[in-house]
Amino acid sequence: MENIPTYRAFLELLDFYEAETSEPKEETERQYDLSRAFLNRCLETDVMKEAHSFLLSRDLVRQSYKKDFKELLYELWFELQPRPSGDGTERSAFEHVFVGETRNGLVLGFHNWVQLYDEERLGNLNYKRHRPQACDNRIITIDFTWNNNNKTFGSFFLGTSPEFELAIYTVCFLAGDENETTVILGNKPATILTNAYRVNGQNQIGACYPKFEKPERKDVHVPIDHEELIIPIDVEDTDHPRQRQKRKCCNCTIL
């Protein structure tokens, strides 16, 4: 993975986050540079260009790709925002979704397979059991402990690139249905969950992950992935460009 530019930039960035939610967060200059470098590598990829083209066709982003779209990605994923639980601490969406957080013995977020692989390789993560799979095993659900904190029904894409996940979550957050968006991966339907919460009149990313649909068998119980309490969105604010009322579900075909 270190030979692939986006993976290499992603792995370098993962080391600059503290999982415990009670720890104060402050972006260092080095972390800022690494997050920008990661976005630069992602913007060089076809999948991110396709995401921008898709959003541009729906007037959800500006024409400028390497400037305005990059700034939007940074704002959505890397700017520190008040935690949606309202406890007075801050975190970034990238930290929650891709890195993972811990609080009171539980793992919050943590929905990236590269982080899962790397933490298990380092001996920090212990796999417990798998749950139902989906999309030809491209979506997995597992139980695990991370530094002695528990995660039940953790949902991941498997084998997908960091730029793919950043692109599909961004598209679903900006253009998709409220909370859940149906997409087509190859020829398989999947559901992407994108929780949002309100900060200063703007929608911010609360959580993003692929959601496994409940099986038809009634005796199979599929619990909800544990996430933070999300403050309800103030739907009365319609002036901000990221207001998501009346937007249709986007069907994305990933080739």
Q: Which residues are catalytic?
A: 96, 111, 151
Question: What is the maximum span of the chain, computed from C-alpha positions, in angstroms?
Answer: 52
- How far is the C-alpha of 57 from the C-alpha of 68, rounded, in Å? 15
Cβ within 8 Å of residue 222, ≥6 positions away: 131, 132, 153, 212, 214, 215
Strand partners of residue 183? 190
Token pair for 133: 């799979």
SS3 state of residue 172? helix
Alpha-carbon radius of gyration of the chain: 17
